[in-house]
Amino acid sequence: MAEVYGPSHVYAPRAHPKTCDWIARDPALLDGLTGNQLPIAGDMAVVCSAGVTTPLGLELLAEAGLQPAASTHTYCDEQHAIEITTRFAERGTKVVVQHIYPDGVLNDSALWIDARLLSYLNNKANLAELVPAAHVATRLVMTPKTFFGDAAAQPLPIVLKAATDLSTGAGADVAICRTIDDLVAARERFAGCERLVVESCQSILRNLCLHYAVMPDGTTRYLGFADQDIDANGRYRGNWISLGSTLPSELTDIGLAIVTRGAFLGYRGFVGIDIAETDDARWVVLDLNFRVNGSTAAALLAPAIQRAVGPCCLHLRSFACDAGFMRLLAETRSALRSGSLIPLCTFDPTVAGHAGQPSRLSALIVAESQADAHRVETELAASGLV
């Protein structure tokens, strides 16, 4: 991350409570997410929850051969996170945010990338302005009142997406409507939106996240890809990475054209592009994420993992453990020593001020096949990691 963003920057990934409507509202979950990039931060300073930098948790990552961020600045609650970030800005350090802050919290001059540009690039209403027309699904942008006023006449299935300048993620801003009941639920869910994207539902054979970086000098790099693990309801469950596999250049060039456009507008940093292969042999861009993505760390670590263990299948997963942090560490260490798991981040909720919440783990399952990975995960579930 230090190489991608340049020197003398600080990474502040904690979502602000007033701008996380379309990500998650659980403060424990938001705190746990701040540790997901620690293994790829390098020399970049990171503002993160105290729950992701416990000595025992970092010891576990070191045993896995990972080198967490050299410079971490831990907070004890969400207000403290904002205060630490603001102090960096007041000292002239450029702040890289994962999710935009409300107006007035940070001066525009403090941000590495202008908040208005981040909002424009990530707002789903603008996707067709950035993506080559051949790779855009049939879509309209309208107010919820207009759509739901005539919803009974809409052919199903249909996909609805919140068109917002706030950050989005984890499918919180997307509804796949297959029935009238789905439309009724979506009407309530999107009641506060100013605009909706109404998009044709695609029959998807493969759902990919392609990773890129725009370097400080504006040059672009393709970093790799991950297959997205999506359940029947359209919810994200992690990523599959087949070490040694590649994509055709025509596909990576689609993403490169989009990223180059963002770089021309002034964006610098990581980009993740969700592209689906449809059953009519098309590549359709589903979403643009001009930020660090859920599988960014895994994609960057994949080449080193391949050198260490050879070609294999990786499954990026998040786990929760209700039996406490020590139990999570013990089961994770056992799987690590057996060669079936690489921990990327641990989260102790008690240290983070969330007593009673589950402990959390982000990890890569290392297996010969997807079926083998599921077997490992079944064993972990039996030991309390679900």
Residues near 358 by beta carbon (within 8 Å), at least 6 away in sequence: 320, 321, 322, 349
> What's the mean pLDDT in 287-308?
96
Q: How many residues does the chain have?
A: 386
Same-domain check for residues 224 and 301? no
Domain membership flag for residue 75:
yes
Task: State how beta strands 45-49 and 9-12 pair.
Answer: parallel
Same-domain check for residues 175 and 211? no
Q: Could you tell me which residue, 244 or 369, shows the higher pLDDT?
A: 369
CATH number of the domain residue 194 falls in: 3.30.1490.20
Same-domain check for residues 250 and 300? no
Same-domain check for residues 369 and 358? yes
Q: Could you tell me which residue, 107 or 295, shows the higher pLDDT?
A: 295
Alpha helices in the chain (DSSP H): 2-5, 27-33, 55-63, 78-90, 115-122, 127-130, 144-149, 180-189, 249-265, 296-309, 325-337, 370-382
Domain membership flag for residue 49:
yes
In this prediction, residue 172 carries a pLDDT of 86
Q: Is residue 129's pLDDT more than 80?
A: yes
- Reported pTM: 0.95
52 touches 38 (CB < 8 A): yes
Rounded to whole angstroms, the Cα distance separating 276 from 14 reads 29
Angle at 164 between CA 253 and CA 5, to 5 degrees: 50
In this prediction, residue 84 carries a pLDDT of 97
In this prediction, residue 239 carries a pLDDT of 97
Task: Give Cα separations from 158 to 168, 179, 201, 275 (angstroms).
Answer: 19, 9, 5, 18
> What's the mean pLDDT in 312-329?
97
Place of tokens 């040059």: 219
336 touches 385 (CB < 8 A): no
Same-domain check for residues 105 and 163? no
Rounded to whole angstroms, the Cα distance separating 34 from 8 reads 19
Instruction: Output b/e per residue, 265-283; b: 16+ Cβ within 10 A.
Output: eebbbbbbbbbbbeeeeeb
Q: Which two tokens stand for residue 2?
A: 């230090």
> What's the mean pLDDT in 199-209?
95
Same-domain check for residues 8 and 109? yes
Domain membership flag for residue 52:
yes
In this prediction, residue 161 carries a pLDDT of 97
Rounded to whole angstroms, the Cα distance separating 72 from 37 reads 11
Domain membership flag for residue 119:
no
Q: Is residue 121's pLDDT more than 80?
A: yes
Same-domain check for residues 67 and 105? yes
> Across all residues in the chain, what is the average pLDDT?
95
Same-domain check for residues 6 and 70? yes
Task: Please report, rounded to a whole number, the percentage of residues in the chain having pLDDT higher than 90.
Answer: 89
Show the domain range for 159. 138-200
Domain membership flag for residue 129:
no
Q: Could you tell me which residue, 171 or 174, shows the higher pLDDT?
A: 174
Same-domain check for residues 6 and 98? yes
CATH number of the domain residue 220 falls in: 3.30.470.20
Domain membership flag for residue 118:
no
Domain membership flag for residue 123:
no
Domain membership flag for residue 280:
yes
Same-domain check for residues 254 and 319? no
Same-domain check for residues 303 and 284? no
Give the model's confidence band at 235: pLDDT under 50 very low, under 70 low, under 90 confident, else very high: confident
Task: State how beta strands 204-214 and 220-230 pair.
Answer: antiparallel
CA 237 to chain centre: 11
CA 133 to chain centre: 25
Same-domain check for residues 167 and 249? no
Give the model's confidence band at 154: pLDDT under 50 very low, under 70 low, under 90 confident, else very high: confident
Number of domains present in the structure of the chain? 4
239 touches 298 (CB < 8 A): yes
